[in-house]
Structure 1
Amino acid sequence: MSLNSQTLTGSGQDWTRNGSSSSSRAPMENESMILKPSTPTRKPIPPKQGNAITIAVSSQVLFNMEKEQQIYEQQGMEGYIKYQQEHETEPFSPGPAFSFVKALEAVNTQLRKLYPDSEELFDVVLMTNNHEVELRLKNTINHHKLFIERFCMTGGNSPVGFLKAYHTNLYLSSDQGKVREALGEGIAAATMFTQEKMNKVSETQLRVAFDGDGVLFSDESERIFKAHGLDAFQEHEKLHEKDPMNHGPLKCFLEALGKLQNKFDVNGQREDCPIRTYLVTARDDSSAGKRAMNTLSSWGLEIDEAHFLDGKPKGPLLEKIRPHIFFDDQMRHVEGAAEKGTVACHVP
C-alpha cells in the first residue's frame, strides 16, 4: 500500500513521568463508564479567537473529495462547478480527519458541562480554496451534525497566510507544500492522506499519538543516527541523557492538549479525562528513552503513555492504541501505521 497526498493506496515498555508503568489518568478502556456527548438542541456558541485551541482543517481531509478532484482534473473548472451544483444536496462521505474532529467536539461537550462559561475549547476552522463547493460543504456539515461555524475560503490562494490570523494551533492538509509552508511559519502542521482502511476509534476520548524525534523533539539526535549510525547515536544520548532536546514542530500542540487536560484535574488526579496522549518512538528504553522523558519533564509536560520500540514497527502497537491521529516524520512509519488502519500524518 502506497501513500501520496491524495490517496493512501515489537512490543515496547510503557513509561510515565515518574518511571512507573501506569498513569494517574485512567485509560478508560471501558467506554461504557463515560457519558457520551448528548446532541444539543442548538449549536453551541463558538469560542473567541485567542482563547480556543484552533484546528484548521482542509476540506479535502475532513471529507472524501477524491471523486470531485478527478472530475476537476478530467473536465476542468467548468465541469467541476457543474457537478457541484448538480450534487449540492448530496453530502460528502467522511475523510481521514473526520473522526478526529468528532472527538474534538466530544471533548468540548464534556468541557462545557464542567465549565459552562469557559472559552478554552477546541475550535475547528474549515479551509477551502474553492467557493463553488461552499453550499455543498455546509449541507455536508449539517448532515453529519458537525459544529463548524468558521470557514476560510481563499479563492484559489494558499490558506497558509491566514493561519496566524486564526490563531491556529494545528493545520491539517493533503497538500504537503502547504504543510511545509505552515511549518516554516512556526505553525504545527501535518499532511493527511486518504486511506483504504480506518480503524474504529473511541467516540468519547480523544487519543493523539506522537513520534519523538522530528515531531515532539528536534531532529538533532536523528541526524547523528543517520550520519554516523546506531552506536554513535546511543553514545550521544548516553552522554546527554540529562540535557533536554530542543523542541520539535508539534511540541506546541502537545502543550495545548495538556492545557485542556489540566481542566479535568480533581484532587490532583485526572479522572475520566477525555484526552489521552501517547509517545510512540523507535528509541529504546535506555539512555535514549530516558532523555526523551527528561526532555518532556524539563518542559513541564506529561505524556499519558510512552512506548519505546527499539526500532520495531509501530503499526501493530498503534492498532492496539487506536488513536484518532498519529504524527510521524518518516513515511515508512506513516505507511506502516496506515496499513494497520491508523490515521497517520506526515510531519515533513
Structure 2
Amino acid sequence: MSEIKPSDLSPTEDSGEVRDLADFDNLCLSIPSQPKPRYAVTVAVSSRALFNMVDDRKIYEEEGVEKYVAHQVEHENEPLKPGAAFLFVQALMNVNSRLRELYPDSKELFDIVLMTNNHAQVGVRLINSINHYDLTIERFCMTGGNSPIGYLKAYMTNLYLSKDAEKVTEAIEEGIAAATMFMPEMETELSDTQLRVAFDGDAVLFSDESEIIMKEHGLDTFFEHEKEFENKPLAQGPLKCFLEALGKLQRKFYAKNERLSCPIRTFLVTSRSAASSGARVLKTLRSWGLEIDEALFLAGAPKGPLLQKIKPHIFFDDQMFHIEGAKELGTISAHVPYGIGQKYHKGKLIEQPVKKE
C-alpha cells in the first residue's frame, strides 16, 4: 500500500473540492436574486388556491388528517393540477422577468409566499408541483393545522389569496388585503405578456360608505349624496393598498419609457353610472395619487360579459352575485368579504340568523 502524503490531503486548484465549490458558486449566480420583503410586493397564496386540491380535500374531510397526509406522501411525485390562483401567479412571475430585464439588481418585484395550514409532510408534493410548473416560489409557511393568518404581517403581505372564506375574513379584519378564490366554470385564454387585474369600486378599492346609503336609502338618495360630496374623497377599502403596490411597479416601467408596453394593466369595473356618481370615484383615485388604466362604469348592467372581453387574471368584487356572473363566463374571480354588501344577495337583504341568549 503506498504512503499517503500530507499534501495529498490538502485541496489544490485542480481538486474535486474546489471544483465543487466553484460549481456551487456558479449555481448560486444562475438563480435569480430574491426580492427583499421590505421592497417587494408580497402575495401570499394558499396551497388550495394555487393548486386544485378538491379531491385531496375530500380525503381530509371524510377520512381525516392521517389518511390525507399519507395520500400526499404516496403521490408526492405526481404534480398537482393548477388551481384558481395559478395563472395569476404565473402572470406575476412574467412581470418579474420584465422587471429584471430593465432593472437587473432591483429588489422591487413580486414575491410569492405559499401560506398554508398543511403539515410539513405534504411539503414535498407542493415543492415538486411548484418545480414541475417552473414557479419561482422560495418562501413557504406551513403551519401544521393552525391558522396561518397570524404570520401574514410578519411576511409583510400585500395580498392574501385563499379558498377559505373564514381565513380571508380574518385577514381583512387584521387590515390585510385578501380575497377568496373561485375557479371559472369554463377556460379562457389569458395574456401571457400582460398581468390584467380588475377591481370593483365600492367595498373593494373604496370603503362601503356610499354603498350603505344606496342599500338603506335607495338609488336617488345615493346619487344626491355622491353629487353633494363629489369633492370629498372616499375612504379607502381593503384592496386600495394592493392597487397602490401595482402602481409602484407600473411606474418603474413608465420611467423606462415603457408605458405603452407595460406588462401590468388595471381596470375599475363598477356598477356605478358615470354621469351620476362617477366623478367622485375618479377624484378619489386622483387624490390618492393613483392611476387606473381603464375605468368602466356599467350603471347596474351585468359585469360578466364585459369581463369576458377584458380577460383579467383576477377580478375582485365584494358581492357574490357579481362573482357568480363573472365565473360563469370564464373569469377567475376573487370575493372580498367586506362591508354591507355581505348582508345582501341580488339586491335583497339576507335574513341574518337570530342569536340565542
Fold agreement, TM-score > 0.5: yes
- 1:187 alignment partner, SS class: coil
Deviation of the 1:153 alpha carbon: 0.6
Counterpart of 1:109 in structure 2 is 97
| Alignment correspondent of 1:59 | 47
- 2:71 aligned with 1:83: yes
Whose Rg is larger? 2
How far did 1:269 drift? 6.6
For 1:235 and 1:284, the matched residues in 2 are separated by 13
The 2-side partners of 1:122 and 1:134 are apart by 22
Residue 197 of structure 2 corresponds to residue 178 of structure 1: no
CA deviation after TM superposition for structure 1 residue 287, in Å: 3.6
261, 264, 272: which one pairs with 1:272? Answer: 261
**1:249-273 deviation per Cα after TM superposition (whole angstroms, max 9, x unaligned):** 0000000000000001157771310
Query: Deviations 1:83-119 (Å, cap 9, x if unpaired)?
Result: 1121110000000100000000000000000000000
TM superposition shift of 1:132: 2.5
**Partner residue, 1:259:** 248
Distance in 1 of aligned mates of 2:65 and 2:225? 54
RMSD over aligned Cα, in angstroms? 1.3
The secondary structure found in structure 2 opposite 1:46 is: coil
Q: How big is the shift at 1:77?
A: 1.8
C-alpha separation in 2, matches of 1:182 and 1:276: 26
Q: Who is 1:201 aligned against?
A: 190
1:312 aligns with 2:306: no
Any idea what SS the aligned residue of 2:266 has?
strand
Tell me if 1:240 matches 2:229.
yes
Cross-structure match for 1:6: none
- Take 1:81 and 1:166, find their aligned partners in 2: how far apart are those partners? 26
Answer yes or no: is the 8 Å Cα contact 1:172–1:192 preserved in 2.
yes
8 Å CA contact 2:184–2:329 kept in 1: the answer is no
3-state SS in 2 of match to 1:238? helix
- The TM-score normalised by the length of structure 2 is 0.84
**Count of residue pairs the alignment pairs up:** 308
With 130-139 and 259-268 compared, the bigger mean Cα shift is at: 259-268
Residue 179 of structure 1 aligns to which amino acid in structure 2?
V
Which residue does 2:321 correspond to in 1?
332
CA spacing shift, 1:83–1:267, aligned 2, 3 Å: closer
In the alignment, does 2:189 pair up with 1:217? Answer: no
1:200 positional shift:
1.4
Report the AA paired with residue 148 of structure 2.
P
Q: Percent identity?
A: 65
Q: 3-state DSSP class of the match of 1:192?
A: strand
2:32 to 20, 25, 44: 44
For the residue of structure 2 that corresponds to 1:148, the secondary structure is coil
Determine the C-alpha separation between the residues in 2 that align with 1:266 and 1:51: 17
TM-score by length of 1: 0.86
Residues 7-46 of structure 1 correspond to what in structure 2 (within 5 A)? Answer: 42-46=30-34
| Counterpart residue number, 1:128 | 116
| Structure 1 residues 49-96: Cα deviation after superposition (integer angstroms, max 9, x where no partner) | 111000000000100000101111222122212211211100000001
Shift of 1:42: 4.5
Match 2:107 to one of 115, 119, 124 = 119
- Structure 1 Cα separation of the partners of residues 304 and 95 of structure 2: 26
1:211/1:245 CA distance change after superposition, 3 Å: same
Q: Distance in 2 between matches of 1:195 and 1:285?
A: 29
Distance 2:257 2:135 in 1: 33
Asked if structure 2 preserves the Cα contact closer than 8 Å seen for 1:241 and 1:287, the reply is: no
What is the letter of the counterpart of residue 93 of structure 1?
A: K
Which residue does the alignment assign to 1:143? Answer: 132
- The gaps in structure 1 that reach 5 residues or longer are 1-40
Contact 1:296–1:302 (8 Å) recurs in 2: yes
Listed as ranges, the gaps of 5+ residues in structure 2 are 1-28, 338-357
**If each structure's helix is expressed as a fraction of its own residues, which one has the higher value?**
2
Aligned partner (choices 331, 340, 343) of residue 342 of structure 1: 331
Q: How far apart, in 1, do the equivalents of 2:88 and 2:160 lie?
A: 13
Runs of 4+ in structure 1 deviating by more than 4 angstroms, as ranges, are: 266-269
Q: Deviations for 1:14-72, whole angstroms, at most 9, x for unmatched residues?
A: xxxxxxxxxxxxxxxxxxxxxxxxxxx95412111111000000000100000101111
Whether contact under 8 Å (1:198, 1:343) holds in the other structure is no
Distance 1:43 1:267, change over 3 A: closer
Distance in 2, matches of 1:225 and 1:178, equals: 28
- Which residue type is aligned with residue 34 of structure 2? P
Contact in 2 for aligned 1:264/1:271 (Cα 8 Å): no
